[in-house]
Amino acid sequence: MLRKTFESEIQQVKDEVLVLGSMVEQAILNTVEALKKRDVKASEEILKADKLINKKRFDIENQLMILIATQQPMAHDLRLLASTMEIISELERMGDYAKGIANINIRMGDEPLLKPLIDIPRMAQKGADMLHRSLTAFVNEDLDVAKALPIEDDEVDALYNQIYRELMTFIIQDPKNIERANWLLWVAHNLERVADRVTNICERTIFIVTGEMTEVKATDDEFWKQQKQG
């Protein structure tokens, strides 16, 4: 085979993307666990882990640049490498959301949580699960999963909507709750964005397989639709 080396290098890149994805997945779950337990030290570890996520992203980007320069990819190969460049950027941003949640936990200091966390860990679990499956679909170029997965973003939007309403109730009850409610709202917002970015990964997988660039689901639609419906 003429392109055996190239194909094995592409496989290596895919493996590295899976490693990066797993680092991000772990960061999302750990950061919410740290917040739930109000464990500031664990949140500081998340900040350190984010530096490793960023480094891994740059390493993969570098690998991709070398492949593009030396192999002059065309057609499917070109779509794959260009999309991988996009996907690692999405993953790095998801890592930043986990870091953002860690920073909130650190900034909260000794303040107790406004309420026990129930839906926020659910959002994290769902987002991490969606992320995992989206990357498996990317590696296997599974069109069916890539098309079906973005619909599940509605579940995350619904949880966000629920948290939003609950926090608004706390604020209405006592304006002293504003700051602590706001912190949790940011946490929920970050997790909601994680699921949106999973949708972007699925769009890239669809592009790799079909060559068609389509928006499978407009982000935030479900949340704002529910807000309008009151």
Partner 1 sequence: MPKRRGTANNLIVTHNMQQVARASDYTATMILSKDGERSGTVIEFDDTKHIFTNPKDKRTEDYVTGRFG
Residue 81 CB, nearest distance to partner 1 (Å)?
11
C-beta closer to partner 1: residue 2 or 69: 2
Residue 12 CB, nearest distance to partner 1 (Å)?
18
Q: Does 69 bind partner 1 (CB under 8 A)?
A: no
For partner 1, the binding residue among 79, 99, 133, 217 (CB under 8 A) is 79
Distance in angstroms between the alpha carbons of the first and the last residue of the chain: 60
Q: Does 5 bind partner 1 (CB under 8 A)?
A: no
Sole window of 72-80, 90-98, 103-111, 217-225 interacting with partner 1 (rule: CB under 8 A): 72-80
Q: Does 78 bind partner 1 (CB under 8 A)?
A: yes
Contact indicator for 60, 88 with CB cutoff of 8 Å: yes
Q: Does 75 bind partner 1 (CB under 8 A)?
A: yes
What is the C-alpha separation between 131 and 108, in angstroms, rounded? Answer: 28
C-beta closer to partner 1: residue 1 or 41: 1
For partner 1, the binding residue among 3, 37, 107, 165 (CB under 8 A) is 3
Q: Does 6 bind partner 1 (CB under 8 A)?
A: yes
Sole window of 2-10, 125-133, 188-196, 219-227 interacting with partner 1 (rule: CB under 8 A): 2-10
For partner 1, the binding residue among 8, 41, 72, 144 (CB under 8 A) is 72
Dihedral, 16, 17, 22, 27 alpha carbons, nearest 10:
110
Q: Does 225 bind partner 1 (CB under 8 A)?
A: no
Residue 82 CB, nearest distance to partner 1 (Å)?
9
Site for partner 1 in 110-139 (CB under 8 A): none
Query: What does the DSSP assignment read for the chain?
Result: -TTHHHHHHHHHHHHHHHHHHHHHHHHHHHHHHHHHHT-HHHHHHHHHHHHHHHHHHHHHHHHHHHHHHHH---HHHHHHHHHHHHHHHHHHHHHHHHHHHHHHHHHTTTPPPSS--SHHHHHHHHHHHHHHHHHHHHHHT-HHHHHHGGGGHHHHHHHHHHHHHHHHHHHHH-GGGHHHHHHHHHHHHHHHHHHHHHHHHHHHHHHHHHS----SS-TTHHHHHHHHH-
Sole window of 26-34, 38-46, 66-74, 181-189 interacting with partner 1 (rule: CB under 8 A): 66-74
Footprint of partner 1 (CB under 8 A): 1-3, 6, 71-79, 211
